[in-house]
Amino acid sequence: NGRLAMVAIIGMFFQDGLTGSAWGDWDLYTASPLRAGAEAAAPPAFDPAKQVGATEPLGYFDPLNFCKKGDEDTFRALRSAELKHGRVAMLAALGAAAQHFLKFPGFEGMPAGPGGGVAPPRAP
């Protein structure tokens, strides 16, 4: 790091010799947090349309307008509820597929499939 800094300062001196300004025009640079008396800009309002998950072709899909622009707390709560409900739905789909193949002991003779609810049970 020290050698790199020495090469960098030599480059700045060289630039100062060619252009007369190695450090830039600080009067034009007003966004520096190091400048005394500089007012910090307020962060932009929370926009749910700019969050991860807003994809084409729908963009941010909120047809009932549950999340107002700037309401980050409601957005985060609804996003976490959506993830939890999605996980439960995936487990339910796995259970719906697995119940065809897995039977409890004593229920091997029960009919399976769409007509299983109305068909009489078979003898074991």
Q: Are 46 and 71 in contact (CB under 8 A)?
A: yes
pLDDT in tens, the chain (124 residues): 788 888 887 877 766 666 656 566 656 556 655 555 556 667 788 888 888 877 778 777 777 888 878 888 988 998 899 999 999 999 999 998 888 788 888 877 777 767 777 777 666 5
- Residue indicated by tokens 């107002």: 68
- Cβ neighbour number for residue 122 with a 10 Å cutoff: 9
The burial of 71, by beta-carbon neighbours within 10 Å (0-12 exposed, 13-18 middle, 19 or more buried), is given as: middle
Q: What angle do CA 56, 57, 63 make, to 5 degrees?
A: 105
The model carries a pTM of: 0.49
Cα separation, 116 vs 15, whole angstroms: 85
